[in-house]
Amino acid sequence: MDNAERWLSKTLDYNFSDVGLLQQALTHRSASGRSNERLEFLGDAVLDIVISEALFHSLPDAPEGDLSRLRASLVRDTSLAGIAAELGLGEHLILGSGERKTGGHRRQSILADALEALFGAVYLDSDFETAADLIHRVFRDKLEVLPRADELRDPKTRLQEWLQARGAALPEYELVNVSGKAHQQRFEVHCLVPDQEPAKGEGRSRRSAEQQSARRMLEQLTAGESRG
Catalytic residues: 44, 116
Please say whether the beta carbons of 168 and 193 come within 8 A: yes
Q: What angle do CA 206, 212, 217 make, to 5 degrees?
A: 125
Euclidean distance between CA atoms 112 and 84, whole angstroms: 7
Specify which residues 186 forms β-bridges with: 179
SS3 category, 17: coil
Answer whether 7's CB lies under 8 Å from 15's CB.
Answer: no
CA 146, CA 139: separation in Å to the nearest integer?
11
Q: CA-CA distance, 67 to 60, in Å (whole number)?
A: 10
Largest CA distance in the chain: 67
- Tell me how far apart the alpha carbons of residues 193 and 168 are, in angstroms, rounded to a whole number: 9
